[in-house]
Amino acid sequence: MSLRLLTVSALALGLVAAPAVAQDARTEAQAAVIRDAALKSNVALDYVTQITTRFGPRPAGSRSEQQAAAWAADYLRAQGFQNVRIEEFPLVGWERGEDSGAIIGAHPQPLVLAALGHSPATPRGGIEADVVRFTTLDDLRAAPDASVRGKIVYVDLGQMHPMQDGSGYGPQTRVRGAGPGVAAAKGAAAFILRSVGSDENRLPHTGTTQYVDGKATVPSFALSAPDADQVSRLIALGEPVRLRLSSTARTYQTHSQNVIGDLPGATRPDEIIVLGSHMDSWDQGTGAIDDAAGGAITIAAAKAIAASGQRAARTIRVVLYGSEEVAQPTRETGNGGGVYARNQGAAVEKHVIAGESDFGADRVYALRLPAGAQGSDFQKAANRVLYPIGVLSSSQVETEGGVDVGPLGPLGVPFFGLAQDGTRYFDLHHTANDTLDKIDPAQLSQNVAAWAGLVWLIADSDVDFRALRQAAAAAPSAR
């Protein structure tokens, strides 16, 4: 029996209910109207300008993040969102303090670096040690402990290659996450890596490193690209390179919060579409692209729908999550996305779909739908709405959602993805250079228009993405 026959049989036998996928022509026409109005709206630029200017950096659990959340709740109310609320949760915050580094010895030179998130402080006065350099994490893993003990381990992966889909990031960020633990297990004194980034600026890219067994490992730093290359060149010149590294980082008990606002559905308000982004930022920049832009895009998209004078059937919910950046993957609490998902209880079953905007402010180039929606009438309608503004329908299934909406996945919520152009994202990501001036208003508007058109289409339809996914899973040949 072929797979194809199996599928036909399963459907014929009524084992899988055929889900509703038809799109109402009036809904689709309205999507185009909303899309075009969103292109002309200035709400996104207003939001990202105000939050980054008024509050500057918004590290998770900081007073600045808390104040920005209170302000954002007022902003949502002023834009007409209802049931606006702040969902508070406890957090172990991390504060950079002062960090510094230098090449010491005969020809001392300062180094531009930044401690990684949740890196522990050095002893007062810093750590002084020789550098031992690796070009892969595997080489470090294979090194005898004696060659590393007491030294500063340096992993130099070279420049991250810029890609439209950001796919250069994964391999490098895994080194940032796991490298310090590997170095610590071998008795290293500290860990440094070449910044995970695609630029050549004297601006280090921070980012969180992972705990091992629930604890921080060794003091860990990202060197800016030119500084990392300088250290590598000095080693290549045959000079023994000795560094002094210092950090006064600390952790502290605090709280963070999610900010939630709804545009209640007209006819099926219990069915919820979640539009996620995060409120916190790294401490070096003002978090314009990471991720005030995500809040700006989702708020402006929902506002464009509200401003159209039409109410969608379903509820559109904007969630500005707290504490995305410093979340430890192994930790149960301390991440706004996890808190939101757990607090939903049974209501999570009425979450129709969730999407996340957390990849800058440049244009959207592809729509990714959950399994089962490929080739559906819904995808065809979405394509007709989005293709005119440069968004293609991707055959890639959206399974992850993102760090913030991700915890809804295991609870059964499907995801959509509006893939953004990440070509220049990692020039700026997690650096002091993540500031308002990096946002291109024209690309931001296109991004909002893509969200507005798609979200309206979902919110005013009866398409059941859970059922589509279930049907696809039961009918393997359809994949």
Can you tell me whether residue 403 is helix, strand or coil?
coil
Contact between 285 and a copy of itself by CB under 8 A: the answer reads yes
Q: Judged by CB under 8 A, which stretch of 259-267, 373-381, 434-442, 464-472 contacts a copy of itself?
A: 434-442
Task: Assess contact for 221 and 247: CB atoms under 8 A.
Answer: yes
- Closest to a copy of itself by CB, 236 or 346: 236
Strands (E), 105-247: 109-111, 113-115, 127-134, 152-155, 190-194, 220-223, 242-247
Task: Assess contact for 69 and 322: CB atoms under 8 A.
Answer: yes
- Closest to a copy of itself by CB, 115 or 218: 115
Task: Assess contact for 312 and 263: CB atoms under 8 A.
Answer: yes
101 bridge partner residues:
111, 245
* 66 contact partners, CB below 8 Å, separation of at least 6: 255, 256, 257
Interface with a copy of itself: number of residues (CB under 8 A): 36
Give the separation between CA 322 and CA 217, rounded to whole angstroms.
25
- Contacts of range 398-402, beta carbons closer than 8 Å, 24 or more positions apart: 398/368, 398/369, 398/370, 399/370, 399/371, 401/276, 401/354, 401/355, 401/356, 402/276, 402/356, 402/358
Binding a copy of itself (rule: CB under 8 A), the pick from 23, 30, 41, 64 is 64
Task: Assess contact for 450 and 364: CB atoms under 8 A.
Answer: yes
- Closest to a copy of itself by CB, 62 or 210: 62
Binding a copy of itself (rule: CB under 8 A), the pick from 218, 413, 436, 448 is 436
Residue with tokens 């990714």: 368
Contact between 46 and a copy of itself by CB under 8 A: the answer reads no
Q: What is the SS3 assignment for 370-392? A: CCCCCCCHHHHHHHHHHHHHCCE
Phi, psi of 406 (to 5 degrees): -50, -45
Q: Minimum CB separation from a copy of itself for residue 233, in Å?
A: 5
Strands 351-356 and 314-321: unpaired
Q: Judged by CB under 8 A, which stretch of 75-83, 105-113, 118-126, 446-454 contacts a copy of itself?
A: 105-113
Binding a copy of itself (rule: CB under 8 A), the pick from 9, 42, 67, 267 is 67
Give the separation between CA 11 and CA 477, rounded to whole angstroms.
12
Taking CB under 8 A as the criterion, which residues in 130-189 touch a copy of itself? Answer: none
Contact between 53 and a copy of itself by CB under 8 A: the answer reads yes
Binding a copy of itself (rule: CB under 8 A), the pick from 9, 83, 109, 167 is 109
Taking CB under 8 A as the criterion, which residues in 219-238 touch a copy of itself? Answer: 225-226, 229-230, 233-234, 237
Binding a copy of itself (rule: CB under 8 A), the pick from 12, 14, 107, 144 is 107
- Closest to a copy of itself by CB, 65 or 398: 65
Q: Minimum CB separation from a copy of itself for residue 39, in Å?
A: 25
> What mask of x and - would describe binding to a copy of itself in positions 187 to 226, judged by CB under 8 A?
-------------xxxx---------------------xx
Contact between 438 and a copy of itself by CB under 8 A: the answer reads yes
Contact between 112 and a copy of itself by CB under 8 A: the answer reads yes
Contact between 323 and a copy of itself by CB under 8 A: the answer reads no
Contact between 437 and a copy of itself by CB under 8 A: the answer reads yes
CB atoms closer than 10 angstroms to residue 153: 28
Q: Minimum CB separation from a copy of itself for residue 248, in Å?
A: 14
Binding site for a copy of itself (CB under 8 A): 49-50, 53-57, 64, 67, 103, 107-110, 112, 200-203, 225-226, 229-230, 233-234, 237, 284-286, 431-433, 435-438
